[in-house]
Structure 1
Amino acid sequence: MKYITIDGAQGEGGGQVLRTALTLSILTKQPIELVNIRANRAKPGLLRQHYISVMAAKTVSNAEVEGVELGATSIRFSPGELTGGDYHFSIGTAGSTVLVCQTILPVLALANSASTVTFEGGTHNGMSPSLCFLQHSYLPLLRKMGVACRVCIEKLGFYPAGGGKWQMLVEPTASLQPIDGLDARAADPSVEQQCQLKALISSLPKHIGDREVATAVKILAWQQAPQDVELVESAGPGNSFQAMVSTHSHASVFETVGELGVSAERVAKRCAGRVKQFLNAQATVEEHLADQLLVPMALAGSGSFTTTKPSLHTLTNIDVIKRFLPVRVRIEQQTKQRWRIDLTTT
Structure 2
Amino acid sequence: MSKLIQLDGSSGGGQMLRTALSLAMVTGKPFRMTKIRGQRRKPGLMRQHLTCVKAACEVSGGTADGAEIGSTELVFRAGEVRHSSYRFSIGTAGSTSLLLQTLLPALWSEEGPSMVRLEGGTHNPLAPPFDFIQRVFLPAMAKMGAKATVRLLETGFAPVGGGVIECEVEPCAGFSEIDWTSRGGLKEKSIRVPVRELPLSIAGRVLDAALAVFPCEDAKVVALPEGPGRGVACLVEAGFTQGRELCASFGEQGMSSEKVGRRAAKMMTDFIGNGAAVGRHLADQLLLPMALAGGGRFTTMPPDNHVPSNIAVIEKFLPVKFEVSTKEGRCEISVTS
Give the structure-1-normalised TM-score.
0.94
The correspondence of residues 64-83 of structure 1 with structure 2, limited to 5 A, is 64-83=63-82
Map 1:92-111 onto structure 2 (within 5 A): 92-111=91-110
Alignment of 1:14-163 (within 5 A): 14-163=13-162
Superposition map of 1:261-300 within 5 A: 261-300=254-293
- What pairs up with 1:267-346 in 2 under 5 angstroms? 267-335=260-328, 337-345=329-337
C-alpha separation in 1, matches of 2:59 and 2:240: 34
Please tell me whether the aligned partners of residues 34 and 74 of structure 2 are also in contact (alpha carbons under 8 angstroms): yes
1:266: how far off?
1.2
2:195 maps to amino acid = I
1:167-207 per-residue CA deviation (whole Å, 9 max, x = no partner) reads: 10001111111123x22335xxxx43311111010111122
C-alpha displacement of 1:150: 0.5
Deviations 1:259-297 (A, max 9, x none): 133221111111222122211211111111111110111
Looking at structure 1, the residues matched to 147 and 261 of structure 2 have their Cα atoms a distance apart, in angstroms, of 34
Per the TM alignment, residue 79 of structure 1 is displaced from its structure 2 partner at its CA by 0.9
Q: Deviation at 1:300? A: 1.2
Displacement after TM superposition at 1:87 (Å)? 0.4
Q: Separation in 1 of the partners of 2:18 and 2:174?
A: 20
* Structure 1 residue 248, shift from structure 2 partner: 2.8
Superimposed CA distance per residue, residues 197-248 of structure 1 (whole angstroms, 9 cap, x where no aligned partner)? 110101111222222222222222x243x11211124300011101111123
What is the number of equivalent residue pairs in this alignment? 335
Whole-Å Cα distance in 1 between the matches of residues 188 and 332 of structure 2?
A: 23
1:4 correspondence with 2:5: yes
Q: Which amino acid aligns with 1:109?
A: W
Amino acid at match of 1:161: V
Residue 181 of structure 2 aligns to which amino acid in structure 1?
Answer: D
SS class of match (1:193): strand
Structure 1: stretches of 5+ with no match in the other structure = none
Residue 195 of structure 2 corresponds to residue 201 of structure 1: yes
Distance 2:57 2:130 in 1: 23
Local SS of the residue matching 2:166: strand
* 8 Å contact kept, 1:136–1:250: no
What are the Cα deviations for residues 39-86 of structure 1, in whole angstroms up to 9, with x where unaligned?
111111111110000011111111122121111111111111111101
Is the counterpart of residue 240 in structure 1 residue 246 in structure 2? no
Cα distance in structure 1, aligned partners of 2:319 and 2:131: 33
Alpha-carbon shift at residue 112 of structure 1 (Å): 2.3
2:121 and 2:177 map into 1 onto residues whose CA distance is: 31
Residue type of the partner of 1:192?
A: L
Summarize deviations over 1:144-171 as a string: whole Å, max 9, x none.
1111211122101000110001110001
Task: Name the structure 2 match of 1:185.
Answer: 183
Whole-angstrom distance in 1 between the partners of 2:283 and 2:216 = 29
Measured in 2, the distance between the counterparts of 1:249 and 1:52 equals 35
For 1:169, what is the secondary structure of its paired residue?
strand
Deviations 1:102-144 (A, max 9, x none): 1011110111211000000001111111111111111100111
SS where residue 88 of structure 2 aligns?
Answer: strand
Provide the C-alpha distance between the structure 1 equivalents of 2:247 and 2:93, rounded to a whole number of angstroms: 20
Q: What secondary structure does 1:94 align onto?
A: coil
Q: Does the CA-based 8 Å contact 1:140-1:249 persist in structure 2?
A: no
Q: Is the 8 A contact 1:141 1:249 kept in 2?
A: no
Does the CA contact (< 8 Å) of 2:191 and 2:216 recur in 1? Answer: no
Q: What's the secondary structure of 2:186's corresponding residue? A: coil
Distance, in Å, in 2 between the alignment partners of 1:175 and 1:29 is 16
CA RMSD of aligned residues (A): 1.3
Deviations 1:311-332 (A, max 9, x none): 1001111111100111121212
Distance 2:282 2:183 in 1: 17
What SS does the aligned partner of 1:296 have?
A: helix
Structure 2: distance between partners of 1:306 and 1:119: 32
